[in-house]
């Protein structure tokens, strides 16, 4: 119970958005787009609500609203890298309230008390906390961090320590969580890395891999660093739950539509369990996303598909923020995917008094990155950022001290204002 008590407090997300608001900061903190969803997404919602009959406005099947299951099966089955797999909409698709609740159902369905879950840190804070809620034990393996390169990219800075991964995985490991493109670093796991991981997990028949791919369509260099789903590697389908969601792709983070694609037995377990948690998920948002998934494959704003437009639009924003950071003397670690940039803040200074401030959620003592993130948000340059220390376990939190995370899922005017303010850093 004590570890669950430790979770009963606000999180970093509940500290920095309010702090950004009260400080009149440009909010490059929490990762949500500050624009409206595209017109075709909004009109799809109207169409869904107005469809007569019970399908869109009443309870849906416990596994997934059928049109969404069909649309997802089509979507994955048509991906060239998935061509050797067949996603059956009736048995291989489960949806819930965002990828977060999909993962909750998956952990709940699989973990017995004391089961271990291996997480690669920095790891999105929700993973480890969910494991603790289930009575499981998170085991952390750090990505190696090397900031010495001339031009910093997330794939070069953050690399795997395969010996450490191998050492952390054992018969007690029930789940390994992967995340590509990665939050917060923007790293995209290469085929070589995933292949090595697959050869490690192959030794453990009971080990299930969760692959969080919510940023899968925000990819900047698909030739050099393509998005690769772990499930598509040889023999990995049977042990992998591919998780994704609509929030980042369609700028609808508040709709909370997420899904898992995976083998019948795992999907059934999650579905059976979901009946006792939220019974089923909202039909209307799922129906809307089913429509969006079809439209997203059509030409959009001069691009071959909406997905191509989305990646190009984010690439432009990445360029703008990277230039502003470089000009301000904060070296960006260029992400290969996703909508965050981690940047080296080792040269920045701030008053010691920040460490003494009341913080809703900081660990004690307050880590450097946390204090700096607060100072950057409320005083100089009044740009809200997220400290990466919540993405680390207590023993490795020191690795977070010299960088912070900036979100670039923000409109031009906000990115412009951020540039002006970043230039005031002395
Ligand atoms: N995934 C988003 C981020 O990393 C939002 C996280 C959250 O609000 N829990 O910023």
* pLDDT at residue number 373: 98
Q: Which atom of ligand 1 is nearest to the CA of 126?
A: 9
User: Which one, of 281, 283, 243, lies nearest residue 261 by Cα?
Assistant: 243
Residue appearing with tokens 């500050």: 34
Which H or E run contains 26?
strand 26-27
* pLDDT at residue number 8: 86
Q: Which of 32, 218, 255 to mutate to test the pocket of ligand 1 (most atoms within 8 A of CB)?
A: 32
Q: Which atom of ligand 1 is nearest to the CA of 13?
A: 8
Are the beta carbons of 133 and 4 closer than 8 angstroms? yes
Are the beta carbons of 240 and 212 closer than 8 angstroms? no
Are the beta carbons of 326 and 171 closer than 8 angstroms? no
**Burial class of residue 353 (count of CB atoms within 10 Å of its CB; 0-12, 13-18, 19+):** exposed
Q: Which of 30, 125, 213 to mutate to test the pocket of ligand 1 (most atoms within 8 A of CB)?
A: 30
* CB-ligand 1 contact for 129 (6 Å cutoff): no
* CB-ligand 1 contact for 198 (6 Å cutoff): no
β-partners of residue 214 are none
Which H or E run contains 255?
none
In the predicted model, is pLDDT for residue 226 greater than 70? Answer: yes
Are the beta carbons of 169 and 199 closer than 8 angstroms? no
* CB-ligand 1 contact for 98 (6 Å cutoff): no
* pLDDT at residue number 55: 84
Q: Whose CA is nearest to atom 5 of ligand 1?
A: 31
Please give the model's pTM, rounded to 2 decimal places.
0.96
β-partners of residue 384 are 27
Say if the ipTM goes beyond 0.90: yes
* CB-ligand 1 contact for 30 (6 Å cutoff): yes
Q: How far apart are CA 235 and CA 122, in angstroms?
A: 27
Q: How far apart are CA 392 and CA 400, in angstroms?
A: 7
Q: Which of 10, 11, 12, 13 to mutate to test the pocket of ligand 1 (most atoms within 8 A of CB)?
A: 13
Other beta carbons less than 10 A from residue 385's beta carbon: 30
Q: Which atom of ligand 1 is nearest to the CA of 30?
A: 10
* pLDDT at residue number 212: 98
Residues near 305 by beta carbon (within 8 Å), at least 6 away in sequence? 296, 297, 298, 299
Q: What is the pLDDT of residues 22-54, one digit of tens each?
A: 999 999 999 999 999 999 999 999 999 998 887
Q: What is the pLDDT of residues 59-82, one digit of tens each?
A: 999 999 999 999 999 999 999 999
* CB-ligand 1 contact for 181 (6 Å cutoff): no
Are the beta carbons of 124 and 186 closer than 8 angstroms? no
* CB-ligand 1 contact for 67 (6 Å cutoff): no
* pLDDT at residue number 2: 61
User: What Cα–Cα distance (Å) separates residue 188 from each residue in 84, 120, 158, 215?
Assistant: 22, 13, 10, 10
Q: Which atom of ligand 1 is nearest to the CA of 124?
A: 4
Q: Which atom of ligand 1 is nearest to the CA of 184?
A: 4
Q: Whose CA is nearest to atom 2 of ligand 1?
A: 31
* pLDDT at residue number 146: 85
* pLDDT at residue number 53: 81
Q: What are the structural domains of the chain?
A: 2-36+304-422 (3.90.1150.10), 40-295 (3.40.640.10)
Q: Please give the structure tokens belonging to residue 402.
A: 């010299």
In the predicted model, is pLDDT for residue 145 greater than 90? Answer: no
User: Which one, of 157, 142, 154, lies nearest residue 181 by Cα?
Assistant: 154
User: Which one, of 334, 322, 385, 393, lies nearest residue 188 by Cα?
Assistant: 334
Percent of the chain at pLDDT > 70 equals 100
User: What Cα–Cα distance (Å) separates residue 342 from each residue in 23, 318, 387?
Assistant: 22, 11, 10
Other beta carbons less than 10 A from residue 105's beta carbon: 23
- Would you give the end-to-end CA distance of the chain in angstroms? 46
In the predicted model, is pLDDT for residue 101 greater than 70? Answer: yes
Q: What is the pLDDT of residues 172-221, one digit of tens each?
A: 999 999 999 999 999 999 999 999 999 999 999 999 999 999 999 999 99
Q: Whose CA is nearest to atom 7 of ligand 1?
A: 13
Mean pLDDT of the chain, nearest integer: 96
What's the rounded mean pLDDT across residues 409-426? 96
CA contacts within 13 A on the Cβ side of 379 = 12
DSSP 349-370: ---GGGGGS--SS--SSPPHHH
What's the rounded mean pLDDT across residues 307-313? 98
Q: Whose CA is nearest to atom 10 of ligand 1?
A: 31
303: left (phi over 0), alpha (psi -120 to 50) or beta: beta
User: Which one, of 343, 320, 339, 319, lies nearest residue 331 by Cα?
Assistant: 343
Are the beta carbons of 336 and 366 closer than 8 angstroms? no
279: left (phi over 0), alpha (psi -120 to 50) or beta: left
Q: Please give the structure tokens belonging to residue 379.
A: 């005083």
* CB-ligand 1 contact for 399 (6 Å cutoff): no
In the predicted model, is pLDDT for residue 1 greater than 70? Answer: no
Which DSSP state fits 230? G
Q: Which of 104, 124, 185, 387 to mutate to test the pocket of ligand 1 (most atoms within 8 A of CB)?
A: 124
> Residue 181: is the preceding peptide bond cis (ω within 30°)?
yes
């Amino acid at each position: 119970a004590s570890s669950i008590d430790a979770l009963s407090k606000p999180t970093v997300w509940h500290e920095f958005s309010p702090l950004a608001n009260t400080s009149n900061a440009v909010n490059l903190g929490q990762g949500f787009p500050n624009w409206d969803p595209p017109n075709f997404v909004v009109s799809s919602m109207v169409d869904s609500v107005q469809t007569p009959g019970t399908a869109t406005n009443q309870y849906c099947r416990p596994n997934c609203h059928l049109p969404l299951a069909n649309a997802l099966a089509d979507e994955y089955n048509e991906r060239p890298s998935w061509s050797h797999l067949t996603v059956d909409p009736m048995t291989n698709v489960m949806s819930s309230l965002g990828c977060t609740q999909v993962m909750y159902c998956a952990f709940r369905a699989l973990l017995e008390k004391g089961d271990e879950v291996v997480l690669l840190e920095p790891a999105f804070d929700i993973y480890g906390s969910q494991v603790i809620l289930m009575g499981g034990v998170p085991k952390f393996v750090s990505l190696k961090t090397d900031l010495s390169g001339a031009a910093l990219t997330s794939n070069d800075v953050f690399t795997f320590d395969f010996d450490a991964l191998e050492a952390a995985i054992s018969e007690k490991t029930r789940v390994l969580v992967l995340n590509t493109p990665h939050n917060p670093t923007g790293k995209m796991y290469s085929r070589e890395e995933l292949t090595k991981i697959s050869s490690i997990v192959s030794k453990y028949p009971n080990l299930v891999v969760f692959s969080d791919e919510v940023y899968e369509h925000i990819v900047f260099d698909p030739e050099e660093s393509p998005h690769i789903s772990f499930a598509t590697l040889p023999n990995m389908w049977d042990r992998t739950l591919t998780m994704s969601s609509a929030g980042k792709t369609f700028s609808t983070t508040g709709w909370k539509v997420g899904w898992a694609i995976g083998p019948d037995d795992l999907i059934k377990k999650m579905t059976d369990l979901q009946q006792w948690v939220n019974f089923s998920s909202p039909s209307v948002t799922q129906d809307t996303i089913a429509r969006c998934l079809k439209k997203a494959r059509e030409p959009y704003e001069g691009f071959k598909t909406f997905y191509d437009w989305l990646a190009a639009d984010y690439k432009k924003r990445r360029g703008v923020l990277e230039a502003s950071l470089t000009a301000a003397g904060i070296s960006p670690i260029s992400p290969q995917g996703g909508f965050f940039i981690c940047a080296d803040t080792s040269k920045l200074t701030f008053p010691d008094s920040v460490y003494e401030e009341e913080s809703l959620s900081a660990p004690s003592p307050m880590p450097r990155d946390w204090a700096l993130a607060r100072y950057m948000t409320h005083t100089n340059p009044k740009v809200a950022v997220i400290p990466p220390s919540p993405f680390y376990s207590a023993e490795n939190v020191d690795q977070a001290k010299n960088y912070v995370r900036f979100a670039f899922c923000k409109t031009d005017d906000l990115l412009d204002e951020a540039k002006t303010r970043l230039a005031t850093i002395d």
